[in-house]
Structure 1
Amino acid sequence: MLLIAGVMATGASPVLGQHSSSEDSASALIDQSTLPAAPELKGGRPRIKDGAVAPAATELPPPLLPLTAPPSLALPDQNQQVSIHELRPLTLEDALLLAEVNSPTLKAAASQTEQAKSSLRAAISSWYPKIDLSASGLPEYFKSYSFQNPDFVPDRVVQKNTGAINPLTGAPEIRNETRDGYNERYGREWRVNASLQVSWDIINPRRVPEIAAARDQYEQARDSYAIALRDLRLNTSTDYFNLQEADEGVRIGQASVRASLVSLRDARARFNAGVNTKLEVLEAETQLARDRNILTSKLGDQDTSRRLLASKLDLPQDITPTAATPARPLGSWQPSLQESIVAAFNFREELDSLLLKISINNSEANASLAAVQPVLSFVNTSSTSRREGQSGITSLGDIDMDDYVWSVQNSTSLRATWRLFDGGRARAEYRRFKQAAEESAYRFARARDSIRLEVEQSFFGLRTAVQNIQTTGSEVLSARESLRLSQLRVQAGVSTQREVVNNQRDLTNAELRYAGAIRDYNTSLAQLRRRTGLDALVSCSNPVLPSVKSVDNEPSIPIEPTPLKSVCPAMEISTAPIDTPDTTRSLW
């Protein structure tokens, strides 16, 4: 087993307690009313800065191409399609890369951002005129027949030639005769009508607040994407650390089972030789059963951790990931607690999103008042029509289809609409959105407190993990040496198997606690990086320490605010100030 960083460190940059920093300051409590307002620091409508978030990877390198996610709508329907055909070792960097490329959650967040961008473009379109083209019939064939009550049809006068010649003029004589009027009419026409209308709102009180709200919603979607990306990286790292701990647990369980088998073999040999009792054999068998139970449990944890990571990475259905690297501390956290909190306040998009929510509610409130405000529009309408044929003809055969009528009209106007009374609806909607903005301000205060608490919890967890790595590392070395000595004592006949069993159990538990401390440290470190946006890490070396416990020159377990040792070895050389040897930088 490799005891990494912290057990044998002789120098370190100390981690000071929170109370020590407060004791150094003699100033009175800060008047909370003098704290700067968030809109003054971030702006009333904050925008995520380009480059503030490392962009997600979009392509996989050739070695990882076989791990491309299956199609989104793929659904296996056969046993062999979900059978595991490959165990693929992955490093933490490979896991993060696969998560960014494959994750459906991140793809959905990116899609929501594009949707918000399209909504913003739709809102901006209200600044431009609208052009509408309409046509009734392309073309339209019209045929008609009408019949009127003969009693209401006026008589018609018809001129009839009498056959006589007028002696004076020499022209035929004509006389008028009265006949019944036509009460039937026929018509046949081809018609085409088209209209082109251009309208533009010169004054529209709803336009500006709606565009402002859409723009803030787009920025909110970008913040949500950044949050989803960072959470994905944190969750992937956490699952990978859990897998590393599970692998270490399996290794410890296997080593314990092997050691128990050896102890049981020796106990049986001594019992057969008559130098010990049946009780020692039973104790060895009990320890073997206990170690097998631990191994079984850790194997189950390993399988679960592998599939959890596979689900997070959206790997192909027949591939299971494994950890390619053993657990080791990622580095040492340099900023103090106060620096981490302030950085989190400046970094977290959750606060920006709530400020944008306040701005959205204010814009919606202004838009609701536009319902009772005047709207002035410019409208120009051009229309044209053409008809071929005739209508109102007394005989269907007399209709001439060569006859046509063509017309063009154009009208320009200013139109104004103003709802003078709506029963108080607009004012009520205005108050509702203003109250929602006030609610968002309260949520901002709650989010601010939650962010600080998250940073403090991660920081305290990191501090605890630093100490646990050192104490459990020392415990492993001590337990390992105790087991070796107890085995020598049994072989010399001055001790019993019970002592070996107890020391072996202590060693197993110490190694499991050490693996858990490494996991807790890396998890807290990843949480701090996620929650503060800082990446101020000093990488740890990876020394291989001897199994023999060295002389401990360090003082006993310190109590705050006594400086604590760092998880990284020899950190004093790389981080201690040069000018003043006895002055140390506080991680707090």
Structure 2
Amino acid sequence: MNFSLFFAHSTWIPVAIAILFPTLASAATPPKPQNSSRPVQVPDNLNPNPNPLQFPTKPQEVQIQGTVPISLAQALELAKRNNRDLQVAILELERSRSSLRESQAALLPTVGLNSSLTNSGNGFTSNSSEASTSFNGSAQLNYDLYTSGNRQGAIRAAEEQLRVDELDVESTSLEIELNVTTEYYDLQEADEQVRINRSAVENAQASLRDTQAREQAGVGTRFDVLQAQVNLANAQQLLTNAISDQQVARRQLATRLSLAQSVNIAAADPVQLAGLWQPTLEETIVRAFQNRPELQQQLAQRNISEQQRRQALSQLGPQLSLTGNYNLIDRFDDGVGVTDGYSVGIQGNLNLYDGGAARARAAQSKANIAIAESQFGSQRDIIRFNVEQFYSQLQANLENVQTSSVALNQAREALNLARLRFQAGVGTQTEVIAAENDLTRAEGNRITAILDYNRALASLQRSVTSRASR
């Protein structure tokens, strides 16, 4: 997603962006809806076994066969297809749809059939062994004419529960998108740390070769060689830790995407600013209040409790139902034909006293209404805080990107000068090592600043946007 950004008190930032990141000029546009983009193609071997109950039983089944580079768009597509939490939320939504259909069935009458075939006689000890066979059949129809609001309350509560689960699918999808995006940036950072530390090892190895050559030529000291060896050992240790962190980041994202057991992934996208954000802080807060599914969920929960309160009180009101019955009786071999009959009536029921149970249930629902209203207020405050937090982080990290980019260029120049001074005999090995460490730190700081900005942007988008409002 691409946005445009403007901070009123930092007017130099857009100019610096245009100079340092010219490719972002086209990024300052509102994002297109996700459903309008073309389908993302992902390798088939990344999809897991369709049987969720299957698990490997042999070591070779979990052995990594290869590493597949994927883009962030592909990672999001895999999460949409395979993430278990999202699948559970969708199944719960289907369950709520079935529950609504069950509640709506009360709008229709119920019809039933009963039949029996009976053979009867005088018993085994009687001289008369005549037996008779008879058939008895009946059909019943029942329909609730008036339920004092119980039927309507049940249907509306089921409708609100369906709305809650629809919003839960939306919220789960947005949360998974944020988690996948954040973990993808973590993987990018781990990959870059491996690259930076490999470069640091190469620089340390070059410095060690230089000091050893100077020692052999008689213009260097053993102390310089020892310093270079220690610096190389430290760089190798940092590289080993970075490789371990890279493996952990790969497996963490693979777990989030529910990938196949025998594949690993790497980040294919380059590290760069993910986009820009244009709305002001106040506009962002208002948009978050309008779009966040969590607020709508609390309102739906309040409506559910209100309908449950009405259902409870309906038990104190009159209940009217229509009943119809048709009977068919035939006794075989009695010389009499089939006899039948019917009955139609209206039944009424009024519960005069239930010990206060209905009003107690209504009081519980009333308390649940107050709880939902209080939780709505708390959720509203949390949403505002999240927006303000991520907006501030976005602004600070963008400034850090500019600062770290300048520092990186300065660190490279400083290392070149330190090496030239050392080769000319006017500098020391300590200066070279310090300049190498400064360069490594500057490269890491720039990568961290960019990815922290991307994380803040993803979190801000999660705090504001909602698919249902697009």
Question: Taking structure 1 as the reference length, what is the TM-score of the superposition?
Answer: 0.72
- Larger RCO, structures 1/2 (Cα 8 Å, 6+ apart): 1
Contact 2:272 2:450 in 1 (8 A): yes
Query: 141, 161, 164: which one pairs with 1:198?
Result: 141
Secondary structure in structure 2 of the residue aligned to 1:436: helix
Aligned to 1:339: 283
Aligned to 1:87: 67
Describe how 1:450-461 pairs up with structure 2 within 5 A: 450-461=382-393
CA distance in 2, matches of 1:455, 1:194: 69
Aligned to 2:331: 387
Aligned pair in 2 of structure 1 residues 485, 57: CA closer, same or farther (>3 Å)?
A: closer
**Which structure 1 residue ranges, 4+ long, deviate > 4 Å from structure 2?**
52-60
Contact 2:317 2:351 in 1 (8 A): yes
Kindly state the Cα deviation for residue 285 of structure 1 after the two structures are TM-superposed. 1.2
Query: 228, 241, 259: which one pairs with 1:297?
Result: 241
Code of the residue aligned with 1:69 in structure 2: it is P
CA distance in 2, matches of 1:357, 1:524: 31
Q: Deviations over 1:246-274 (max 9, x none)?
A: 11111001100111111111111112222
RMSD of equivalent CA atoms = 2.3
Aligned to 1:112: 92
Kindly state the Cα deviation for residue 184 of structure 1 after the two structures are TM-superposed. 5.7
Q: Percent same amino acid among aligned pairs?
A: 33
Code of the residue aligned with 1:243 in structure 2: it is L
CA distance in 1, matches of 2:373, 2:6: 39
Code of the residue aligned with 1:129 in structure 2: it is P
Query: 433, 439, 442: which one pairs with 2:374?
Result: 442
Aligned pair in 2 of structure 1 residues 55, 104: CA closer, same or farther (>3 Å)?
A: farther
Kindly state the Cα deviation for residue 457 of structure 1 after the two structures are TM-superposed. 1.0
Q: Deviations over 1:280-329 (max 9, x none)?
A: 11111111111111111111111111111111111111111111122100
CA distance in 2, matches of 1:368, 1:443: 23
Contact 1:59 1:101 in 2 (8 A): no
Q: Deviations over 1:378-409 (max 9, x none)?
A: 0001121323357xxxxxxxxxxxx6663212
CA distance in 2, matches of 1:57, 1:99: 17
Aligned pair in 2 of structure 1 residues 453, 144: CA closer, same or farther (>3 Å)?
A: farther
Secondary structure in structure 1 of the residue aligned to 2:111: strand
Contact 1:57 1:101 in 2 (8 A): no
Aligned pair in 2 of structure 1 residues 362, 532: CA closer, same or farther (>3 Å)?
A: same
Query: 414, 422, 426: which one pairs with 1:494?
Result: 426
Kindly state the Cα deviation for residue 146 of structure 1 after the two structures are TM-superposed. 7.4
Code of the residue aligned with 2:8 in structure 1: it is L
Describe how 1:128-527 pairs up with structure 2 within 5 A: 128-136=108-116, 139-145=117-123, 185-205=128-148, 206-388=150-332, 406-527=338-459
Secondary structure in structure 2 of the residue aligned to 1:145: coil
Aligned to 2:13: none
Q: Deviations over 1:24-57 (max 9, x none)?
A: xxxxxxxxxxxxxxxxxxxxxxxxxxxx985699
Aligned to 2:56: 76
Contact 2:6 2:278 in 1 (8 A): no
CA distance in 2, matches of 1:256, 1:524: 29
Contact 1:468 1:517 in 2 (8 A): yes
Kindly state the Cα deviation for residue 60 of structure 1 after the two structures are TM-superposed. 6.7
CA distance in 2, matches of 1:125, 1:53: 38
Aligned pair in 2 of structure 1 residues 186, 13: CA closer, same or farther (>3 Å)?
A: closer
Secondary structure in structure 2 of the residue aligned to 1:135: strand
Task: Give the unaligned 5+ runs of structure 2.
Answer: 11-31
CA distance in 2, matches of 1:53, 1:367: 41
Aligned to 1:16: 8
1:98 maps onto 2:90 in alignment = no
Contact 1:58 1:100 in 2 (8 A): no
Aligned to 1:9: none
Task: Give the unaligned 5+ runs of structure 1.
Answer: 1-11, 19-51, 148-182, 391-402, 536-588
CA distance in 2, matches of 1:53, 1:90: 22
Question: Which structure: larger Rg?
Answer: 1
CA distance in 2, matches of 1:60, 1:327: 20
Code of the residue aligned with 1:203 in structure 2: it is Y
Aligned pair in 2 of structure 1 residues 418, 58: CA closer, same or farther (>3 Å)?
A: farther
Describe how 1:37-52 pairs up with structure 2 within 5 A: none
Aligned pair in 2 of structure 1 residues 373, 365: CA closer, same or farther (>3 Å)?
A: same
Contact 1:91 1:325 in 2 (8 A): yes
Contact 1:129 1:200 in 2 (8 A): yes
CA distance in 2, matches of 1:316, 1:351: 36
Contact 1:343 1:534 in 2 (8 A): no
CA distance in 1, matches of 2:407, 2:54: 50
Aligned to 1:40: none
Aligned pair in 2 of structure 1 residues 418, 59: CA closer, same or farther (>3 Å)?
A: farther
CA distance in 1, matches of 2:276, 2:410: 26
Pick the structure with more helix per residue.
Answer: 2
